[in-house]
Chains A and B, each alone.
Chain A
Amino acid sequence: MHPLLFSVVDNIRSLGWGGAFQLLRNGLVLGSLYALIALGYTMIYGILKLLNFAHGDVYMVGAFLGYGILTRLNGPLNLAIGIVPAIALMFAVAMAGSGVLGVAIERFAYRPLRNAPRIAPLITAIGVSFFLENSVQLLTNGFQYTYDPFELGKTGNEELGPLYHTVFSVAGNPVTTVQLLVVGSALFLMTALVLLVSRTRFGKSMRATAYDREAASMMGIDTDRVIAMTFFIASMLAGAAGVMFGLYLGVTYYFMGFLAGLKAFTAAVIGGIGSIPGAMLGGLIIGLVESFAIGYVGGQWSDIVIFGLFILFMLFRPRGLLGSRAIQKV
């Protein structure tokens, strides 16, 4: 047997059920983050048929906005206000800021090319991604900004801040507040999004625009506004994911958007692009695959496992798990 396969079996044996639970827990947290970013990809692809390369960088900007608010409030150590309002403020600013950024990207980089060949907005998307990434590199001097979320909101001489308190344990494996926070707020945002899309008037016009833009505009829907709102919501979700990533891992850096964006897009495609439940399912799958690949195969192989599985998956089911079969029009 190949040594790599041998070590996989070995890892599964040595980690046991407790290790498997840890990997499952990490995978769920990671998967919720990917699902939030993937929702943005799937919404924008659904409405514009555009692969928005800049979306991962919007997520990165969101993480930096959250970090900026945290340092303005005197960092994780001596918070000026309580921990709950501080985290709420981080989410609010990052989501609003990323949302505005998304609308600006749509307005100045994609809208002028609404009727151009489809490769043109794709190239501007790459340009926007390049611009955002390097602008943040310029303004942050290219450093990795680490802050210690373990210290966040610590009172007295506790070992860890309230975010890292154990809520409950499964077979001796702790589940902490921040992990519940990430999964819980991701679930909350997704529920809100599903309700918005399926129950409101705006959601109806969004679905109509995604189905047929021309026909929707003939029915009196202001499609430009619907598209701008879609970008706002999609970028808002990415900004929230950025803050969650910062709270969970305590680090932000200017190139964090690329790989996360790529994996989130994988999630969107695996779920079936354009399908909102598909993006959530795909995000969870990618998160779990990544987590188990890191645990059982090794960190340096996890990306190759994801990309290899994805290419195989695309060969056998290109429309994704929950996607509908596209009908080619002549």
Chain B
Amino acid sequence: MSDQSNTPVPDPPDAEAQTRIGVDSWVAESEDRQARKRGFFGPAARGWDASPDPVKLFLFIAVAGTIPFWMNEGDLFVYGLFTVLYATLGLGLNVVVGFAGLLDLGYVAYFGIGAYGYALVSSDHYGIHWPTLASLPAVMVFTGLIGLGLGLTSRRLVGDYFAIVTLFFLQAFLVFTNTANPVIHGIGLTGGSSGIGNLDPLEFFGYSLTSVKQQYYFFLLVLVLATAGLYFANRSRTGRAWRALREDPLAAEVMSIPVNRLKRLAIVMGAALAGLCGAIFAAIQTAVTSSNFTLNVLIFIFAVVILGGIGSIAGPILGAIVINVSFQFLQPQNDHPSIKRWLFYGAIVLFIALMKPWYRAVVVLVGTVAFGLAVHAIVSATAAASWTAGTVTDAGSGSAGKAIADWVVIPNQTLHGGFATYAYIGLVVLVCVVRSVTGWWRTVVLIPTLYMAAVVWENVLAPNPAVTAEILFGVLLIVIMTVRPQGLIGTARVEII
């Protein structure tokens, strides 16, 4: 302790973001909130705030309903249909995590059970073909019952213990479907790693939903019904009881709220909705494999709920739009390499432009460009030619590629394979340094950091878009949680007990 007394205690980097003691943060921030609603979009923002909730839902339906008219089938599938899928899944998870405050990490298992359930009763696997109007409710009831079984453990397990049991349930489900594959009536129940194919499409009163447009509208209908249902559930007596139980289960129990029954109800509702999503997803894909229900999907759905705001109804929908669109955009099969590059540099410039005060932004911008030119000049003057001989991946236009290659050091990959690793680790270290220093030191360190980010982007990330998307996703989770733990529009402070 004695060595601490003579050094001044630095402010934590997010000192102003923390809630001050004795100050109601809602009142303290009210001026900020008012100020934010002025400006060019101010009237629209104020109108949005003032309009009643059903109007907001209708506006959403109106916008979402026009999307198929201007988007082609492939884009509608990845940007439209998947967004609606994740929004619905997010809503279901929000019931468990946001309303009841139970950290359910096995949520994707219900999604998978729904998909496999639909596959077993609507395919040639066992030769069973139930009508959709029978199979969808049956799947929902079945996943609900599975949820009830797992929900029984929530009576004794709280917080992290429940989380870990449910995570194990997911892992057991994955092993069960992928490798165990028990043989029943001479056929492997789950088809092993190849899964079950050739599923029947959804069919209602003789009309089968086969085109992407029809499937999109059907799923949108499911989303709207789920939203409306949860809206009323949230405002009901049950919803209030859920919030009470989420905030303080012990106090809720003392108030004679049936805590265990409400927990089970939330888990069953979430499970049934996830099962329904799984069944529709299976019918749309016309196949199920266990690779569709991995931990990555779970993290994706959690990110949707958390980014949007835990405990709010519109949150998961907004989160699904933001996360799915940006994630699909980064995928290699939806190829826009040159746009991605300009988004990357645009994000850096935007980051610099938002710095305060303005002269610091100018110093960083000019410094970064000059630093890059200097490094490039030094490397090409002193090192072997192979150190600057690499080419820009997917430059888009020739002049842009040349400009980048004259600024960023891109060595020949085959000769200097280890460079990428050291640059990447160097960038991570530099970012950590930027986070730990303050004042002008941060500005000074920021210049090589930004340049290093460009080097890493050109050398490592741009050639590997699939992994890049996952890495950015992990970083996004960390950044959102550190900067804005309540999500984009969430206000509730959800405490997992």
Instruction: Please list the residues of chain A having a beta carbon within 8 angstroms of any beta carbon in chain B.
Output: 45, 49, 51, 104, 107-109, 112-113, 115-124, 126-132, 134-135, 137-139, 142, 220, 222, 258-259, 262, 265-266, 269, 300-301, 303-304, 307-308, 310-311, 314-315, 318, 328, 330
Q: A51-B163, A269-B164 are known contacts. Are A128 and B478 too (CB-CB below 8 A)?
A: yes
Contact, CB under 8 Å: A266 / B103? no
B34 located at the interface, meaning its Cβ lies under 8 Å from any Cβ of chain A in the complex: no
Q: Measured between alpha carbons, how far is A120 from B477 in the docked complex, in Å?
A: 10
Interface on B for A, CB 8 Å cutoff? 1, 4, 12-14, 18, 97, 103, 153, 156-157, 159-161, 163-165, 167-169, 171-172, 175-176, 179-181, 250-251, 295, 299, 302, 306, 310, 420-421, 424, 428, 432, 435-436, 460-461, 464, 467-468, 470-471, 473-478, 481-482, 485, 493-496
Q: How far apart are the CA atoms of A311 and B106 in the complex, in Å?
A: 13
Task: Assess the B493–A130 pair: CB atoms within 8 A.
Answer: no
Q: How far is the CA of A229 from the CA of B198 in the complex (A)?
A: 55
Q: From A115, A124, A138, name the one whose CB has the most chain B CB atoms within 10 angstroms.
A: A138
The contact sample of 22 A-B pairs, CB cut-off 8 A, is A51-B163, A107-B436, A113-B482, A116-B485, A122-B163, A122-B496, A123-B302, A123-B306, A123-B481, A124-B477, A126-B299, A127-B476, A127-B477, A128-B474, A129-B474, A138-B461, A138-B468, A139-B460, A300-B181, A307-B168, A318-B157, A330-B250
State the CA gap A182–B352 with chains docked (Å): 51
Q: Are B467 and A138 in contact (CB under 8 A)?
A: yes
Query: CB distance B496 to A108 under 8 Å?
Result: no
Q: B250 — which chain A residues lie within 8 A by C-beta?
A: 328, 330
Across the interface, name the chain A residue whose C-beta is closest to B310.
Answer: A119
> Could you tell me if B171 and A303 are in contact, using CB atoms closer than 8 angstroms?
yes
Nearest chain B residue, comparing its CB with the CB of A137? B467
Closest to B493 in A: A117
Given A120-B485, A123-B481, A130-B470, A138–B460 Cβ distance below 8 Å?
yes
Q: Are B475 and A51 closer than 8 Å at their CB atoms?
A: no
Contact B496 A117 (CB under 8 A): yes
Tell me, in angstroms, the Cα distance from A244 to B485 when the chains sit together: 38
Which 4 residue pairs spanning A and B have beta carbons closest together? A127-B477, A130-B474, A131-B474, A307-B172
**Neighbouring B residues of A134 by C-beta, 8 Å:** 467, 470-471, 474
For B435, list chain A residues within 8 Å (CB). 108
Contact A138 B153 (CB under 8 A): no
B471 near A131 with CB under 8 A, answer yes
The distance in angstroms between the C-alpha atoms of A116 and B172, with both chains bound, is 32
A315 touches B1 (CB 8 A): no
Flag if A311 contacts B477 (CB, 8 Å). Answer: no
| With known contacts A109-B478, A113-B485, A134-B471, A314–B157 Cβ distance under 8 A | yes
Q: Taking CB as reference atom, which chain A residue is nearest B469?
A: A134
Are A118 and B496 touching (Cβ within 8 A)? yes
By beta carbon, the residue of chain B nearest A326 is B158
Minimum C-beta distance from B485 to chain A (A) = 4
Query: Chain B's nearest CB lies how many Å from the CB of A125?
Result: 9
Complex: A113 Cα to B485 Cα, angstroms: 9
Evaluate contact between B495 and A117: CB separation under 8 angstroms.
yes
Q: How far is the CA of A35 from the CA of B477 in the complex (A)?
A: 30
B481:A124 contact, CB within 8 angstroms: yes
Residues of chain B contacted by A222 (CB below 8 angstroms): 1, 4
Nearest B residue to A131, CB-CB: B474
Q: With A131-B475, A300-B179 given, name 16 new contacts (CB 8 A).
A: A107-B432, A124-B477, A130-B471, A137-B467, A138-B464, A138-B467, A142-B467, A222-B4, A266-B164, A266-B168, A269-B161, A301-B180, A310-B168, A314-B153, A315-B153, A330-B250
